[in-house]
Amino acid sequence: MIFIAAKFQVVPEDADRWPDIAADFTAATRAEPGCLWFDWSRSLEDPTEYVLVEAFRDEAAGAAHVRSEHFQDARRTLPTHLAETPRIVNITLPQEDWDRLGEMAVPER
C-alpha cells in the first residue's frame, strides 16, 4: 500500500471551517475504489494545523487518485485556504491495513 501523512497549515480565519472546506474532496477520495482510508485530525497544540493520514491499495490506485477530477479541483481550491505548502511523508509498504501496536496490547476482556 501507499501510506501518506500530510500536515496542512490552514490560515487562521479558515481553521474552524477546514472540515467543511475539504468535505467534498474527502468524500470523493474515500469513494475511490483504491482508497483504504483518508482521515483528517486536528492538532491539539496548533488549532490551525490538520494532519491527513491516507492510504491507497497500490501505486495504480495512488496514480488514479492524483489524476482524478476531485484531486485536480482540490489543487486549485484548497491552497487558497492554506498558510504554507503542506508537508508530506509518502512511503510504499508491504501491507494492506493497520498493524496492532504490540507494545500497548490490550488484554482480552
* Residue 108 located in a structural domain: no
Q: How many folded domains does the chain comprise?
A: 1
* Residue 75 located in a structural domain: yes
Per-residue pLDDT tens digits for 18-72 = 999 999 999 999 999 999 999 999 999 999 999 999 999 999 999 999 999 999 9
* Residue 76 located in a structural domain: yes
Q: By residue range, what is the domain housing residue 10?
A: 2-95
C-alpha–C-alpha distance, residues 31 and 33, integer Å? 6
* Residue 103 located in a structural domain: no
* Residue 107 located in a structural domain: no
Give the CATH number for residue 36: 3.30.70.100
- Average model confidence (pLDDT) for the chain? 97
- Nearest Cα neighbor of 24 from 77, 66, 61, 87 is 77
* Residue 105 located in a structural domain: no
**pLDDT attached to residue 87:** 98
C-alpha–C-alpha distance, residues 45 and 78, integer Å? 22
* Residue 10 located in a structural domain: yes
Residue 35 phi/psi, 5-degree rounding, is -80, 125
* Residue 28 located in a structural domain: yes
**pLDDT attached to residue 19:** 98
